[in-house]
Amino acid sequence: MGRRVTLAALVISAVAPLMLLGLWSVGDRWFFPALIPPTFTTDSWRAMLTGQLGAAAVVSGVVALATAVLSCALAMPIGHAVARLSGWRRHMASALAFLPVAAPPIALGLGLQYTFVALDVSGTIVGVIAAHVVPATGFLAIYFSGVFTALDPRIEDEARSLGATPIQVWTRITIPIVRRHIGDALALGFLVSWAQVPLTLVIGGGIVRTLPLAVYDYLRAGETRYAATGALLLTVPPILALLAARRERVAPL
Partner 1 sequence: MRLAALVAAPVLIGVLYAVLGALGLVGLDAHGYTTEHVTRILGAGSTWRGIGWSLATATVATAAATITGGAVAIAFRGTRLGDRVARALVAVPLPMPHIVAATLSLVVLAQSGLIARLLYALGAIHSAAQMPPLILDGLGIGYMATMAWKEVPFLSVVAISVLATRGPRLEEVARTLGATPRATLWRVTVPVLWRGLAPAAIAVAIVIAGSFEGAYLLAPSNPLALPLLTYERYRTIDAARRADAYVLVLMGLMLAVIAVVALEWVRARWDAE
User: Under rule CB under 8 A, which residues in 37-96 are in contact with partner 1?
Assistant: 74-75, 77-78, 81-82, 85, 88-89, 91-96
Supply the Cα-derived Rg of the chain in whole angstroms.
22
- Taking the least distance from each CB to partner 1, the nearer of 129 and 234 is 234
Stretch near partner 1 under the rule CB under 8 A, chosen from 49-57, 121-129, 137-145, 157-165:
137-145
- Taking the least distance from each CB to partner 1, the nearer of 82 and 186 is 82
The CA distance from 71 to 139, in Å, is 9
| Beta-carbon count within 10 A of 1 CB | 5
- Taking the least distance from each CB to partner 1, the nearer of 145 and 159 is 145
The CA distance from 153 to 174, in Å, is 10
The residues in 193-252 that bind partner 1, with binding defined as CB under 8 A, are 194-195, 197-198, 202, 212, 215-216, 219-220, 224, 227-228, 231, 234-235, 238-239, 241-242, 246
- Taking the least distance from each CB to partner 1, the nearer of 161 and 220 is 220
Stretch near partner 1 under the rule CB under 8 A, chosen from 32-40, 51-59, 154-162, 168-176:
32-40
The CA distance from 32 to 164, in Å, is 70
DSSP 171: I
| Site membership for partner 1, residue 24 (CB under 8 A) | yes
Residue 1 half-sphere exposure, CB side, CA atoms within 13 Å? Answer: 0
Give how far the C-alpha of residue 237 lies from the chain's centroid of Cα atoms, to the nearest Å. 9
| Site membership for partner 1, residue 22 (CB under 8 A) | no
Whether 213 contacts 58, CB under 8 Å: no
**Shortest separation between residue 182's beta carbon and partner 1, angstroms:** 18
| Site membership for partner 1, residue 111 (CB under 8 A) | yes
The CA distance from 192 to 210, in Å, is 13
